[in-house]
Structure 1
Amino acid sequence: MADFNTLSTELKAQLSAETKIMGKDGTILRWDESCAPSPIMTVTPGSEADVAEIVKYCRNKGLKCFAQSGGHSWRVKHYREIDVVINLRGLNSVTVDTKAQTATMGGGTLVGELIDAVSEKKLEAATGVCNSVGALGSLLNGGVGRYMGKYGLGIDNLLSINCVDASGTLHRNVTKETDEDLWWAILGAGASLGIVTQATIKVYPESNGGMSWTGVLLYGDSSKVETVVQTISEMEMDENMCVHFLFACPPPTLAPVVMVVPWYYGPEDEAEKVWKPLLDIGPTFKQTGMAPANKLNEGNDAFGEKGGRKPGVGLGLEKIDPVAYKQIWNMYVNFIKENPDAGRSIVLAECYPKAKMESISRESTAFANRDMNYMVICVPWYEDEKLDIRANSFSQSVREIWAQKCGHPDRIRCYTAFAGINEPIGSLFGEQERIEKLRYIKKQWDPENYWGALMDVPA
């Protein structure tokens, strides 16, 4: 294989002047370094046409390329095979059409950048809940987030895309009308079909002046673990609600606590009534208040920090069982105690209203798991790779408890963006007939499984 200087010189001649090419010293830090590529070069294209040329060049040279924007997905299955990383961050423009109520964003746009752009126009969009995550990376996996009770999944608001296929051909304005099969697959399995370089989505007028209520409730008393879980499990959420709850070790004490992050899209007095069952438990720390849309994700910035090893696993659950969660709590506390370097590890559950999501036919997209009640992930977080075996054992044990006591053991499901590196394809996309349909479409668009690094869907 040719060296970096030869490859970069040849490739540079085919690309726009705005394109940047770096060697190993320009490798971009990823959120999870446990399966991060170590490429020969990292290329930051200046245009969508550049992306197509980079893919063509890599194919002609027998190189494997991989596109990233936020760099947060931990499911890079074949990371050792990747020769070239295409850093899409240069394609980060957002254009908002207030009359049509749409937003068009480049493939490198981050969630925070999209929120800022639409909020400036007094609009809002169905996005993820971490500002530093790639907006399209999140959306193409389904697009779970705070506003889904009102507007559905991110994919339910997608209008059109531009994408580069495995041959290096740029396809513009792909919609359900232009290619029904490709559109079906893109909605939930987009990363396995090509590189999406641009997308247009629906946006909506903000409510309540764009202000909503949120905050943090900490329960440091381990005797309250089951009560908190039971209370959340019994709450019925309307379209203006969602809740995240997790086991974590926040500063300044760095001691294990149950952290609950409730949200309500309405005035503070209504929010306090809605979330009264949780407040009545008596958190040891409470910090709540009203916030604009472009500030809501700030509490997740620490979790979105890049670097470190985070070999996480996830599932989609039917229920959250208090006894099972107390068992997981004890495992979490012991893991942190025995591995102080892993003090930033978390066990997270997200719960959103399902009515809007389930109003869309399951058969209309590759996204199979619209009926999940809870999306959960266990993320060990540490620096020393010597902890890999213990960390994987811990996360797999948590996953097993979830599967056996909070779900259907014979029907394992997982939200794609939360999946571990070895998650079976059936838990992501459903029954065999759905998998066969996805494979059929994959065969048309990527017969050699060139885009298999994130979702390994062999044709």
Structure 2
Amino acid sequence: MANISDFKASLGGQLSADARIVGSEGTVLRWDGYSAPKPTVTVFPQCEEDVAKTVRFCRQKGLRCFAQAGGHGWRVRNRTDIDVVICLTDMNSIKLDEGTRKVVIGGGAIVRELIEAVTEKKLEVATGICNSVGVMGSMLCGGIGRYMGKYGLAIDNLISINFVDATGKLHRGVNQDTDKDLWWAIRGAGASFGIVTEATIQAHPQSNNGLSWSGVLIFEDPSKLEAVIGAINNLDMNENMCVHFLFARVPPTLSPAIVVMPWYYGPREEAEKAWKSILDIGPTAAKTFMAPADKLNDGNDQFGEKGGRKPGVGLGIDFLNPEAYRHIWDLYVNFSSENPDAARTVILAECYSKVKAISMDRNSAVFAHRDSKYEVLCVPWYSDEKLDIRATDFAQTVRNIWVQKCCEQDKIRSYVAFSGLNEPVETLFGSGERIDRLMEVKRKWDRENYWGALLDIE
């Protein structure tokens, strides 16, 4: 167990003047408390050298450390025995070169900070869909988001990184030319090899002055479920479109409802034409609006709220099977009705244009699932730990339905950022030579399996 007095006395003098070391009372809240680590020490570094020194100190003391920025990563569940959290939130600098449109991002920056910085310069970047998520965590898992139809995944726009390895050594300017295998592996499984303290990415000029059309369509009549699913399955998703489809309880009555959140990067008249098939079904309530670029993700702020217990699961699926989704709807209504503490439970499907992402070489990065039609999530959300067994059983039942009814045979895929507890490594990265290569990189950079994270080696 980490000793706060020892940390302050021995490590404190080595760190920057503004670096902070706090005890368990300073533990930073995570998105999911279901199996979050309970560190006895949290360190707030101010620079990359602080991170490296903290890792070296932890290794010398036989302590396990873990870095967090937004605190939303699911796979920390495989490493709950954390003594020390290295909280990177103070390392959130964002520097933009307007000439090259390259953006240098500190390891603690969150998505909102990045979007606001590039929007100010009339630029945009491929990034995640939740403002409070750490940029690094989202990006190094692959990075899916609204602009991926135009620019591909976030990792497709990554130029270089700095990171601290398991020995506490800082490596600067890692890219395709400096280490081809590490560059391949870290783009999709980054948390398995070290703490990324800085990244350089490519930004792009805004379209339509950054304005996009967004909507929230609420269908309270469950008999319209099949019609909604049919319309979504038949969408012609161009590069300017994405849609979020979910089951949720909506205010003020908190009745279970079918919610569709369409998005279109372009003028209203084009958007309404693109989404006509769903609008014509007749939602109970509809709110549509033109959103500026810096408000791109605001509609997801509630989902990104930290705290609570959320033992979720996620998969990449090939189609929304109406029969399967009718079954999932019934399960959702029953679970959230019988357990009022779990009223915020959500079943979510995200669909993006994948044309640009698929055009990239699949073997250019360990990220494997460029061709999933939908990314789906089942997130039981509650506070009472007595619901843990019931909630995990519910999530696993929904996952099994997706596997059996919505996936091509023997093609089970899970997006790393949404992967549930103990998801097999093959569902994350593929199989055969891909796993063999990934494990070789792991052995080279983390032979003692210090980081664990996505991969565990013997």
Same fold (TM over 0.5): yes
Q: One-letter code of the match for 1:377?
A: L
Per-residue deviation, 1:236:
1.3
Q: Which runs of 4+ in 1 moved over 4 A?
A: none
Superposition map of 1:8-19 within 5 A: 8-19=8-19
Tell me what 2:126 maps to. Answer: 126
Superposition map of 1:8-407 within 5 A: 8-407=8-407
Task: Summarize the Cα distance change of 1:236–1:2 in structure 2 as closer, same or farther, 3 Å threshold.
Answer: closer
CA contact (8 A) 1:32 1:72 kept: yes
Per-residue deviation, 1:408:
2.7
SS in structure 1 at match of 2:296: helix
Superposition map of 1:436-451 within 5 A: 436-451=436-451
Query: Within 2, Cα distance between the matches of 1:457 and 1:127?
Result: 28
SS in structure 2 at match of 1:190: helix
Tell me what 1:457 maps to. Answer: 456
CA contact (8 A) 1:35 1:74 kept: no
Query: Within 1, Cα distance between the matches of 2:282 and 2:78?
Result: 47
Per-residue deviation, 1:77:
2.8
CA contact (8 A) 1:425 1:457 kept: no
Per-residue deviation, 1:296:
1.8
| Residue-by-residue CA offset, 1:117-173 (whole Å, 9 max, x unaligned) | 000000000010100000110000000000000000000000000000000000001
Query: Within 2, Cα distance between the matches of 1:8 and 1:304?
Result: 33
Query: Within 2, Cα distance between the matches of 1:77 and 1:255?
Result: 31
CA contact (8 A) 2:219 2:285 kept: yes
Superposition map of 1:414-453 within 5 A: 414-452=414-452
Query: Within 2, Cα distance between the matches of 1:377 and 1:42?
Result: 30
CA contact (8 A) 2:317 2:373 kept: yes
SS in structure 1 at match of 2:199: strand
Per-residue deviation, 1:409:
4.4
Q: One-letter code of the match for 1:431?
A: S
Query: Within 2, Cα distance between the matches of 1:439 and 1:77?
Result: 20
Per-residue deviation, 1:250:
2.0
| Residue-by-residue CA offset, 1:214-262 (whole Å, 9 max, x unaligned) | 0200011010111111110011100000001100012111111111110
SS in structure 2 at match of 1:366: coil
Per-residue deviation, 1:76:
1.2
SS in structure 1 at match of 2:250: coil
SS in structure 2 at match of 1:198: strand
Aligned length: 458
Query: Within 2, Cα distance between the matches of 1:7 and 1:88?
Result: 17
Query: Within 2, Cα distance between the matches of 1:27 and 1:216?
Result: 35
Q: One-letter code of the match for 2:19?
A: T
CA contact (8 A) 1:215 1:288 kept: yes
CA contact (8 A) 2:214 2:290 kept: yes
SS in structure 1 at match of 2:238: coil
Q: One-letter code of the match for 1:458?
A: I
Identity rate of aligned residues, in percent? 60
Query: Within 1, Cα distance between the matches of 2:26 and 2:208?
Result: 44
SS in structure 2 at match of 1:80: coil
| Residue-by-residue CA offset, 1:183-214 (whole Å, 9 max, x unaligned) | 00011010101100000000000000110100
Q: One-letter code of the match for 1:160?
A: S
Q: One-letter code of the match for 1:262?
A: P
Per-residue deviation, 1:410:
1.6
Q: One-letter code of the match for 2:355?
A: A
CA contact (8 A) 2:241 2:263 kept: yes
Q: One-letter code of the match for 1:197?
A: T
Normalising by structure 1, we get a TM-score of 0.99
Per-residue deviation, 1:2:
6.0
Q: One-letter code of the match for 1:441?
A: V
Query: Within 2, Cα distance between the matches of 1:106 and 1:74?
Result: 21
CA contact (8 A) 2:212 2:263 kept: yes
SS in structure 2 at match of 1:161: strand
| Residue-by-residue CA offset, 1:261-280 (whole Å, 9 max, x unaligned) | 10101000110010000000
SS in structure 1 at match of 2:281: coil
| Residue-by-residue CA offset, 1:20-68 (whole Å, 9 max, x unaligned) | 1110000011000011111110000010000000000000000000000
Per-residue deviation, 1:411:
2.1
Per-residue deviation, 1:421:
1.3
Per-residue deviation, 1:4:
1.8
SS in structure 1 at match of 2:76: coil
SS in structure 2 at match of 1:249: strand
Per-residue deviation, 1:78:
3.7
Per-residue deviation, 1:105:
0.5
CA contact (8 A) 1:157 1:202 kept: yes
Which segments of 5 or more consecutive residues in structure 1 lack a partner in the other structure? none
Normalising by structure 2, we get a TM-score of 0.99
| Residue-by-residue CA offset, 1:330-386 (whole Å, 9 max, x unaligned) | 100000111010000000000001110001111110001111000001000000000
Per-residue deviation, 1:428:
0.2
Task: Summarize the Cα distance change of 1:385–1:97 in structure 2 as closer, same or farther, 3 Å threshold.
Answer: same
Query: Within 2, Cα distance between the matches of 1:244 and 1:250?
Result: 15
Query: Within 1, Cα distance between the matches of 2:143 and 2:41?
Result: 30
Q: Which moved more, 1:405-414 or 1:144-153?
A: 405-414
Per-residue deviation, 1:433:
1.2
Pairwise CA RMSD: 0.9
Per-residue deviation, 1:395:
0.5
Q: One-letter code of the match for 2:455?
A: D
SS in structure 2 at match of 1:441: helix
Query: Within 1, Cα distance between the matches of 2:2 and 2:263?
Result: 53
